[in-house]
A = this chain, B = another copy of it.
């Protein structure tokens, strides 16, 4: 059992020789949390088959390419999510390398992992999201080579400081937003590229699950192809502005929203200090920073709504 993404991938590449496919598989917030790796490999790899599955779909509609030349990366904080446990089991039975990211190294999920990575508490550079990204970077670098490898690790060296400053910076704005919109029944989220997963996570976990507020994560690139017609002065939006290649998509949506929406919150990674990371790789860090920002917004909203983030109607209370 190797300690860290680099040595995990090095062992796998050594044992297997060729790697042909990489699957990122989890549920809900953990599914979103694996997207940084998927987005990176999809963008940068010339050879690898890459996909991102919600675990139960992976279990039931297992792709035929899964086999001995595959790597399957699963994630569950508790290590108990049954669909994800099953997915890692399927991966192992197919002869794939099973890499598990979990806080519980003795959990059922960990038992279906050939390699288990435990995120470091309080560290962004060694969070589950970061492990997903680092695993992807290592897979690429150790198979095809990756020219921006050093810049990427330089980014990991900087990200914790950026996050620390950003969460302090954003808190007053989040508080104001929470006071203004605490009674809203629906809040749309929006993002693109590597940050779309954060818009998704904010929508389904923090708003829908933890606050019982209706939501949907709109991809900035899709906004003008349907969703924008619901824009009006009454409908709240929170827009995650990425740095990097897809920023023009966010900007275009934002320019429109500024004209036709009023209940608008912008969370811009540029303003949050992401640009100390090298331009060549900065976009891959958008979600690692934004995921902390959304927690600040969710926390403030929960306080204003007097609805703790831990309250559930169904989860932990009944069988389903």
Oligomer copy total:
2
Say yes or no: A42-B27 contact (C-beta < 8 A), given A56-B249, A203-B216, A214-B230.
no
Q: Are B60 and A314 in contact (CB under 8 A)?
A: no
Render A296-312 as a binary contact track against B, CB cut-off 8 A, 1 for contact: 00000000000000001
Q: Are B312 and A225 in contact (CB under 8 A)?
A: no
Q: Are B224 and A204 in contact (CB under 8 A)?
A: no
Say yes or no: A226-B209 contact (C-beta < 8 A), given A64-B46, A314-B231.
yes
Q: How far is the CB of A6 from chain B (nearest CB, A)?
A: 22
* List of B residues within 8 angstroms of A43 by Cβ: 61, 63-64
Q: How far is the CB of A100 from chain B (nearest CB, A)?
A: 17
12 contacts between A and B (CB under 8 A): A42-B51, A46-B65, A60-B246, A61-B283, A204-B226, A205-B226, A214-B214, A214-B216, A216-B217, A228-B315, A229-B314, A231-B313
Say yes or no: A193-B249 contact (C-beta < 8 A), given A214-B230, A222-B28, A225-B31.
no
Q: How far is the CB of A226 from chain B (nearest CB, A)?
A: 4
- CB-based nearest B residue for A44: B64
Q: How far is the CB of A44 from chain B (nearest CB, A)?
A: 6
Does A177 make an interface contact (CB < 8 A)? no
- CB-based nearest B residue for A53: B221
Q: Are B42 and A221 in contact (CB under 8 A)?
A: no
Q: How far is the CB of A310 from chain B (nearest CB, A)?
A: 12
Q: How far is the CB of A217 from chain B (nearest CB, A)?
A: 8
Once the chains are docked, how many angstroms separate the CA of A66 from the CA of B50? Answer: 14
Q: Are B225 and A212 in contact (CB under 8 A)?
A: no
Q: Which of A190-226 contact B (CB under 8 A)?
A: 192-193, 203-205, 208-210, 212-219, 221-222, 224-226
Once the chains are docked, how many angstroms separate the CA of A47 from the CA of B214? Answer: 40
Does A149 make an interface contact (CB < 8 A)? no
Does A256 make an interface contact (CB < 8 A)? yes
Does A37 make an interface contact (CB < 8 A)? no
* List of B residues within 8 angstroms of A63 by Cβ: 42-43
With beta carbons under 8 angstroms apart, the residue of B46, B212, B255 that contacts A230 is B212
